[in-house]
Amino acid sequence: MRDDNERLLDILEAIEKIEKRAPSNREAFDADEMVQTWVLHHLQVLGEAARALSEDFRAAHADFPWKGIVGMRNILVHRYFEIDTDLVWSAVQTQLPDLKAKVLEALDV
């Protein structure tokens, strides 16, 4: 079974993979279905890793947006036809940088 540290590393890796391929503007994101699929997949991985963190860890790090992360994962996995690309783009551009900083802090890197 993976521990919380390994799950945090999974989250960090997913963020870094999104950063590697996500375009710098919305028009390029909308125009490239492969990039959209890449981003959605890694958001699912990120959400699954967050969902699997221990309750103790999540309680100790209540400043992380756990409910939103897991909620997005649930939509991406179970409600595929309800995916809002505006929300996905917003998450990638505005929320992932903050999440990455918090993960790095929790990992004490």
Residue of 26, 61, 78, 79 marked catalytic: 78
The yes-or-no answer on residue 78 being catalytic is: yes
The yes-or-no answer on residue 42 being catalytic is: no
Contacts of 9 (CB under 8 A, 6+ apart): 107
Is there a contact between 54 and 107 (Cβ–Cβ < 8 Å)?
no
Residue of 26, 41, 73, 79 marked catalytic: 73
**What residues are annotated to the active site?**
73, 78
